[in-house]
Chains A and B, each alone.
Chain A
């Protein structure tokens, strides 16, 4: 209900819906505050037993009040009602109930609870054997999950952003604000990240004074000072979610989740903040007490109850009771009573507890039970004398003390340490390099201590950054409410909840102990304690205390609790912002892309690149017709293909030749300037990594060509060699793939075409096979390489990329005059198979130089990467599967890639396997299917007939084993 406060609260001005019902709210309220203001206590159902659930907390740690926002593609499940701000028209629905929140049929699970205790899954559902798969698992799966996805793709914008600072202050309660003020005044670059929309932390929820005025005034002044400082950035609605190496912090900002019409703003932004140092001022989270049926809607954290009253003017109940083991929780009774709410009883198990206001106090007493099916109606109090009495109440505020929010200190494997005085875990010293805990995150208990430790932490952090700062005058603040005695549970037979979301009870933990799941991790996994959306923030420490008790150990002996990132769940949408659809990976287009599109060529993906498959002409109805024509065009006239996607690495420096000799199996230091050589590169383990040509443009200047696929890998490899193996070498490498547009011009009329295109006249006698040099095209300086991947006389012309499209169009128009034209990847593939040239279909990572018949390319005169390992006997075994050519000779004239080879007459089974086919094509030149493949002892079996069996497509034929070079084996055409 709303409290009547003198402060002049505005009347509710907004409305939103909860399960279709209209709810009136005030601006700045959370959904939880608005629901409580409207006396709505039942908001969800628990995971396993579908027990009615209400609101427990007033912050992001909420275990129970998980709701779904929106509808259709905008539907977002599992949001915390205690975090989501209301706005006009917001649609909120409850989850995990059917058919309705009030009548949920799966709450029958609760009746079966005696059989469904911890770990019951592991002991049952095994008979009959087939039933797990067919019956039990499907039924369990159907009941799983909390909220649901809409099934429609998300259309809204998300963003990713980066920030840097000297000091990141995490949290803006008294300690965070104080730390930020100290650092801001010292001139540091400061970022203050606060998950709430308002700064102030607990001070917003307490009735307290600082420097003799309401704490809110001090907060307002501090915030004003920070916001005005040019060196401070205040980030509200921003939760720091993770700590990573080198001072990197992940944070999620709810950028536009609080407005009805965000315009173009992203809903959420994922931040990566790199900070030289940080202050962890993340506060503390209140813990509960386990007692019978402590999970009903209306049972809430004591600090939350007074937060709703003090901050939002909402009382979660008409008649409030408090059950707590500490002085701090008495403030709830005091503040609510002062606000005019009935406080029916304060139950404190400490015999010496003192009231701090006008309310009935039961000291030395306990709450032993509750009633109320869909919401709390009564509690049973056992007083100090052991007498029970029932008290009517619709809100029980519970506190078992506070746990410092140590979560972020665990992200780099730090283990929090148990502090006996506080009965809580505090951050381990130096758990995260450069992170300084302060305030109640570090165990401080009063506002005065928070202010002091905040200032001290800032001074220490600045000192670590080499800056000395004077201690500031500290504001005067509250120093009380620190008394407490650990109290975890009220003994009893009935179920007492620990993890409310996952329905883990004290009994479950005790059963785990009984069955020797005595390590904390075993207990957690066996009971699912701490694995729900709140990740145990509300209950892990209590569960640990109960496990310790059940196993007769102290808490430190039992273990520690640890937390993995993220501190709060991070939406995948924001982490993956920009990845939807085409945004996932860059698309790389060659300079000839548009011209190729104009010709109607379909594209295939080659890594990030798009390359043309073939160029259909009028009258051609299948890709094969186009491909056959293009092959013949190259063999008889001239063809043009864009080869810019091959990796180009520019290598310069006095040690360029040494580098190449080291990474290639063959010699490059002896290559003459103006010459090109084919090179083979091995991995350290002796297998082939890549191949390609390298040209020597000058005494200390080479250009290496890699395959399209391995361009990145080879660049990495060279970088590794230069940085890790030979940092002493004077040589620099740079990727030049995108700087050059390069076109293959191949065929008997290649020279004729170049004669018209290049600035001439060209003296072809000076351009023997495997030569290179500078040329010009319409006055633009370029390069020419005489190399061939088709077996025809071939050249590659390279010009700076900005001239690529013009050159391509020029080449095509002149080629057509000569009866030539463009050719695509399909034809390129046929041309190279006809010649037995390999690609990564053959050098697929498992082959050696020996396997592809190139063992003689490993120079005996020098060492190279992979040479020693390549000499291992297993890699030189003649019986290995080695490269051969294959031609169909049986009734079926087709070959299929991937098919396996068997000896004639052998059964097509594993033990008879002789090899497999890697590449196939139809060769219009030879009028037959051709294949390349690997066959045991291949080169020794030329002329043999073997059978090919394709189990996938059911194809079977006989093939002849032949030399992999099918066409022009002497290479006369290439040399011209």
Chain B
């Protein structure tokens, strides 16, 4: 692989870009691999990357039914933070966040990690209590967060109406090194690096079955034929239940649509990421100038990749209340992704009932931020055959045993 550098950009600019190579190859599948990863989203690609980088395992195929990065990785609102309540969550999300800090250099691909700061507004007394509790937990976990007052909120984000007549801003949980990254670039950067290590990324190839013998996986059936493997990693987010069914087990996952929208590009007016949970909406401004807006998930299970209109409407209502100056903006595009929700809103990184088969899923509405850490932990599990410290608590057994890592209740509520 030719490395990207300032020199390369200058050289290619002067010769009509004739020298740029393919970012990744498009190989035909080999008969078999040491490891097959199903799903070329961020998590699948990062898993493959760290299998190669950390464990030297490169006889790997990543199989994708559509185009790489086209699932939730390419549909999300790119918020990165690690201010979670429970220790195992904080550990893996903070691992991910810290890997993001150097990811561009590591991949030689600018993923535009932008640690511009994330604030989660407290708009009720109960939310204050909840966020203060999280701030306490973060202090113990070594995650840098701070509970700030309304004046500081206004200072960091002048366009917020902190004295909103309905839900005034009472404070916020502030993570100064949280932020955003360019979602496509994360997928592309990992894909390029994987391809460079000799791994095969096979796009437009849907896995339709899992083959096994004596309780051990032997490969997958695909729209491009059977492909054998010694170990299998299933990393397909919203379609995890479908793949698990092929492998003969069930998952405690519900799939629902989560929606987002962007506005037309506008001159910069907001430098931080703001999440407002009471009113249900969050917003940041992309480097192109679009306001990137996300809301709540649908209340019913489905695979439609689009959502019901009233959710978007509610989100817009919430943002107009919180940011009254944006109301003359226009919604340019809205879309939905199918997110994989667990009961405790924490992911699953686990061996499965089928031998040599591992699963990574359940990131639900918030797994973009976890991509590097999740890939790191999943690669470790696949390479060693058993979860390492980052993944240990995220096993499937926790549902059977009732050992939740409960992130579902961000804040306390009114009595």
List chain A positions with a Cβ less than 8 A from chain B. Answer: 47, 75-78, 114-115, 117, 120-127, 129, 132-133, 137, 140-142, 144-154, 158, 242, 244-245, 248, 250, 272, 411-413, 493, 507, 511, 514-519, 521-522, 525-526, 528, 532-533, 535, 564-566, 569-573, 575-576, 578-585, 587, 604-607, 609, 685-687, 707-710, 839-841, 844-846, 869-870, 872-876, 897-900, 908-910, 913, 916, 918, 950-952
Contacts and interface: CB of A to CB of B under 8 A. Distances in A.
A126 B110 contact: yes
B136 interface: yes
Interface string B105-116: 100111011110
Contact of A242 (B5, B112, B309, B316): B309
Nearest to A120: B9
Contacts of B161: 153
Contacts of A525: 74, 184
| 10 A-B pairs with least C-beta separation | A872-B402, A145-B289, A569-B330, A845-B409, A874-B402, A579-B317, A144-B289, A839-B415, A153-B324, A115-B13
B102 A129 contact: yes
A631 B330 CA distance: 53
Given A121-B182, A839-B415, 20 more contacts: A78-B265, A126-B110, A141-B271, A144-B265, A145-B268, A147-B264, A149-B326, A158-B327, A511-B17, A515-B22, A516-B23, A518-B26, A519-B67, A576-B319, A584-B318, A841-B412, A846-B409, A898-B132, A899-B136, A908-B140
A145 B414 contact: no
A686 B185 contact: no
B330 A152 contact: no
Contact of B308 (A123, A245, A564, A910): A245
Nearest to A832: B415
Interface stretch (B48-56, B149-157, B215-223, B331-339): B331-339
B328 A114 contact: no
A516 B409 contact: no
B311 to A, nearest CB: 11
Interface residues of B, number: 114
B384 interface: no
Contacts of A145: 265-268, 288-289
Contacts of A413: 304-306
Contacts of A951: 135-136, 139-140
Interface string B350-366: 00000000000000000
Contact of B415 (A115, A605, A606): A606
Nearest to A244: B309
8 contacts: A145-B288, A515-B20, A572-B329, A578-B317, A581-B164, A875-B402, A900-B140, A910-B140
Contact of B185 (A122, A532, A872, A910): A122
Interface stretch (B29-37, B123-131, B373-381): B123-131
B6 A144 contact: no
Contact of A152 (B114, B279, B309, B325): B325
B267 A144 contact: yes
Nearest to B130: A844
B125 A126 contact: no
A909 B137 CA distance: 10
Interface string B84-121: 00010000000000000010110011101111000000
A835 to B, nearest CB: 14
Given A47-B265, A844-B409, A898-B129, A572 B326 contact: yes
Contact of B328 (A76, A123, A535): A76
Nearest to B158: A151
A913 B85 CA distance: 13
B328 A146 contact: no
Contacts of B166: 581-585, 587
B10 A122 contact: no
Contacts of A521: 67, 70, 74
Contacts of B402: 686, 869-870, 872-876
Nearest to A153: B324
B69 to A, nearest CB: 8
Nearest to B133: A898
Interface of B: 4-6, 8-10, 13-14, 16-17, 20-26, 66-68, 70, 74, 87, 102, 104-105, 108-110, 112-115, 124-126, 129-130, 132-133, 135-137, 139-142, 147, 159, 161, 164-167, 182, 184-185, 188-189, 203-204, 263-269, 271, 279, 285-289, 304-306, 308-309, 312-313, 316-321, 324-335, 343, 398, 400-404, 406, 408-409, 412-415
Contacts of A569: 264, 330-332
Contacts of A897: 129, 132-133
B317 A153 contact: no
A123 B404 contact: no
Contacts of B204: 519
Contacts of B23: 515-517
B112 to A, nearest CB: 7
Contacts of B132: 897-898, 952
A114 B234 CA distance: 42
Contact of B264 (A146, A244, A686): A146
B136 A123 contact: no
A150 B266 CA distance: 11
Contacts of B125: 604-605
Contacts of B306: 411-413
Given A580-B320, A873-B402, A148 B267 contact: yes
- B22, B265, B415: most-surrounded residue (chain A CB, <10 A): B415
Contacts of B5: 127
B341 to A, nearest CB: 13
Nearest to B344: A685
A916 B304 CA distance: 42
A55 to B, nearest CB: 18
B109 to A, nearest CB: 6
Contacts of B312: 575
A876 B403 CA distance: 10
Contacts of A845: 406, 408-409
Contact of A576 (B164, B320, B415): B320
B136 A916 contact: yes
B6 A840 contact: no
Contacts of A909: 140
B142 A950 contact: no
A685 B400 CA distance: 11
A129 B266 contact: no
B327 A576 contact: yes
Given A151-B325, A522-B67, A685 B343 contact: yes
Nearest to A77: B266
B327 A154 contact: yes
A913 B87 CA distance: 10
Nearest to B403: A874
Contact of A148 (B102, B109, B266): B266
A515 B21 contact: yes
A575 B400 CA distance: 44
Contact of B317 (A132, A576, A869): A576
B331 A248 contact: no
Contacts of B189: 122
A115 B9 contact: yes
A115 B305 CA distance: 37
A938 to B, nearest CB: 17
Contact of B321 (A76, A123, A526, A579): A579
A518 B203 CA distance: 11
Contacts of B25: 516
Contacts of A841: 126, 129, 412, 415
Nearest to A585: B166
A411 B308 CA distance: 12
- A129, A571, A898: most-surrounded residue (chain B CB, <10 A): A898
A129 B5 CA distance: 13
A115 B185 contact: no
Contact of B320 (A144, A150, A579): A579
Contacts of B269: 148-149, 151
Contacts of B267: 144-149
Contact of A840 (B126, B287, B406): B126
